[in-house]
Every structure is written in C-alpha cells, then in structure tokens.
Structure 1
Amino acid sequence: MKPAAAPRWEHFDHGADIGVRGIGPTPAAAFEQAALALTAVVTDPQRVAPLAPVSIACQAADLDLLLADWLNALVGAMAVRRMLFGRFEVRLDGARLQATAWGEPTSVQRHQPAVEVKGATYTQLRVARTPEGEWMAQTVVDV
C-alpha cells in the first residue's frame, strides 16, 4: 500500500485570477491547505506569525459551496481585521464548518503583500476525492 502524501497546497493558472487548491487526507485537511494557498496568493504563509486566533463558522448546502464560504469568510476577516493568517484548524460536520485561523496584523514591510484577494469564486469550485484517495478542495480567487 502506498503511503499517504503529506497535506499540501498549490496554485493553478486561470487567466487574470489565481486558482487555489488544497490536498489532504480528509476534507478538513484539504480546506486547511486551501486556506494556506489563499494566504500564499498574498504573501509567504511562513512569514505570518500565528499570534492571534480568530474563530470562523459557516455552513452551506454542500462541501463545494462550503469551501467558497470558508475562503470568503477568511477574505472578510483579513480585510476587516487587517490581518493575515498562516495557520488553520478546520472541523467539519457535514456541510457545517467550525474553524480557527491564527495570524497577525498585516505589515507591508514584513509580509510584502503581492496582491489583494477580493474573494473566492464558483469557477472550478470542487471538493472531491482524488484517484489516489486524497481529498482535494479547489476554486479560483478573484485578485
């Protein structure tokens, strides 16, 4: 039996916008990795100190829509709180999400933000099991 790969995130090209994808052994892990991919659109997630926890809760009709709601809740929290997040813990109960995002106030000098994410879209929105048995959560974010 092939050992499971470590959870990870990646970006994929989509015209003027950016695709974010999280991959993990569970849907919750894939959501956490998608959130890291979202942060990585703005800055290197390793530059973000996990100083302050922020609780986020949302629910939707299905996992696909829940991913969009989750990422949009993070975008909203980043804008309102003027923070960046670099660590995430997601708990899923069906299509209900309870999460904690840890981060710190945005510092232009420290984080060197590349772009501002306006929101997650429904373009290429998908949460599914891969042929390798991992979970993948992806969408395109508007920048």
Structure 2
Amino acid sequence: MDYKFLKHTADVKFRAYGSTLDKCFENSVLAMFNLMYKGKVKSEKKLNLTVKGKDIENLLYNFLESLLILLDSKNFLVSKLNVRINLEKMSLKAVIHGDKSFNYQLDLGIKAVTYNEMFVKKSNGKWVCQVVLDV
C-alpha cells in the first residue's frame, strides 16, 4: 500500500507515494477509491482519460475530480490504472480499468476533492501527493 490516511477534523486526508510522479498519481486514485470500497473491484471495463492542468496540483485535482465525475455519471468504479504525465504540457493520459459501481456496496461517498492542504512534491527521491476529500 503506497498511501496512508491522516487525521483530519471533518474530512478525509491522505498522502500517496510513488517512485515516479505517475505512480504517485496512480496511488492517489487508489487511495480515494479505497475509501469508497475496501474490497476487490473487477476489471470489466477499460476507459481512456486525458486531463490537463494549470500546475501540478491542479492536474492532480482535475484528475481526481474527473474520476469522481465518471463514478457519478457513468457509475464507473476504478480497480487499477496506468498514468502517463507530460509535465511540459501539464497533462496526463490514463488507462483506467474498473466495473459498474452498482455491482458493489460502497462504504463511503465522496462529495469533492479540495485544494485544502493539497501538495505534490518530490522528497528524498520519492514523490508525495497530499489530498483532502470532502466526505
């Protein structure tokens, strides 16, 4: 598990880690979806997603929000993913695998991703993303 949940007064805060920025973003998604469903999600469908941002935090925010929108609009629950980030263009492409959310009993609903306490940085040779979710 390359993420951990931290104490927060009203919402849920986590830090995700990765040897690369791509892995750090992937682990951020897995942390967020693990909050909603702790069991194993089948990989029944595959989606391609492209996201842009103004800076690295905005890219992470937009990516996580896009996946929440997919959950709300298409009932898509993520099981695994592969992310490729292009920092020059401040964009990412992701191949996402998952299943219809109505096949699962979700543990927790997430209202939104927030910028509160959010950061993306490289520390001691490892990437770290911190995110607070409104639940």
Task: State whether TM-score is above 0.5.
Answer: yes
Q: Whose strand proportion is higher, 1 or 2?
A: 2
Q: Tell me which stretches of 4 or more aligned residues in structure 1 moved more than 3 Å.
A: none
- The answer to whether 1:135 aligns with 2:130 is no
Which residue matches 1:89?
82
Paired letter, 2:58: L
Whole-angstrom CA distance in 1 between matches of 2:52 and 2:76: 23
Normalised to the residue count of structure 1, the TM-score between the two structures is 0.87
Identity %, equivalent residues? 25
Q: Would the aligned equivalents of 1:47 and 1:111 in 2 still touch at CA under 8 Å?
A: no
Residue of structure 1 aligned with 2:62, choices 65, 69, 88: 69
Partner of 1:34: 28
String of CA shifts for 1:65-97, please: whole Å, max 9, x gaps.
111111000100111111211101111001211
RMSD: 1.4
Asked if structure 2 preserves the Cα contact closer than 8 Å seen for 1:23 and 1:135, the reply is yes
Task: Give the length in aligned residue pairs.
Answer: 133
Residue 12 (structure 1) shift: 1.5
Secondary structure, counterpart of 1:125 in structure 2: strand
| Within-5 A mapping of 1:1-143 | 8-44=2-38, 46-94=39-87, 95-107=90-102, 111-130=104-123, 132-143=124-135
Which secondary structure does the structure 2 equivalent of 1:35 belong to?
helix
Partner in structure 2 of residue 4 of structure 1:
none
State the one-letter code of the partner of 1:105.
K
Distance in 1, Cα, partners of 2:74 & 2:116: 27
